Amino acid sequence: MGLDEGGVGDLGGAIRQTRKRLNLSLKELSEKSGLTVSQLSKLENGKQRISVDLALRIAGVLHVPVTSFLAAPSARPMARRSIIRAGQGTRHETKGMVYEVLSSDFRDKSNLFWNVTVTGRSMEETGGWRSHAGEEFLRILTGSLILHTQHYEPLLLEPGDSIQFDAEMEHGYVCHSEAPVLMLMSNSMRPALPPGFPTGPGT
């Protein structure tokens, strides 16, 4: 995937904030991600575009969902399609959760789609509270999930149940069933581009 995403300045700053929150130096992130210190520095300072491949790699190292810091451009080419065969999506793991990326080869998209497996049985085991721009949609496929949200009581979701909510509201997931939870997740991404930033296909 060579998908050039926009929002470089905001994205780079979010990566830097997450790295510092985890007390990781650029050198340590470089060693864990396989990217050079120079490349990471350029990404964090908005001097280089970032592909979804790189975003996923960095998110895996930082143990956060890529949607915590990924923004999308507004250009939307038409007449496209993306097919992901069962079990063949790009996978990355965060604490207590496994994400399988769907439709990963779409350029300039405004939504991300995932198959998500939740194994953690407490907020601590699934990485605690999280929030990000846009909206989130969940549909439970198998297992039972407890969804924690900042302004509501914990919500039990069973197979077939779905929910959509503002993802800037802090939220978290807990597996409530004996077997892991499998759910379909969709995240919308709000454009976060500085004025005059190019939004066309990658160069």
pLDDT tens-digit readout, 56-74: 788 888 877 766 665 544 4
CATH topology of domain 90-188: Jelly Rolls (2.60.120)
Give 129's pLDDT tier (boundaries 50, 70, 90): very high
Q: How far apart are the first and last CA of the chain?
A: 14
Superfamily covering domain 4-68: lambda repressor-like DNA-binding domains (1.10.260.40)
Q: Would you say 64 and 22 are in contact if contact means Cβ atoms under 8 Å apart?
A: no
The 10s digit of each residue's pLDDT in 72-86 is 444 555 677 888 888
Q: What is the pLDDT of residue 55?
A: 78
For the chain, the domains span 4-68, 90-188
Percent of the chain with pLDDT over 70: 79
Residue 131: is its pLDDT beyond 70?
Answer: yes
Higher pLDDT, 16 or 100: 100
Q: Output the pLDDT for position 6.
A: 38
Q: Which of 53, 42, 5, 41 is nearest to 198 (CA)?
A: 5
Computed over every residue of the chain, the mean pLDDT equals 81
pLDDT at 181 over 50: yes
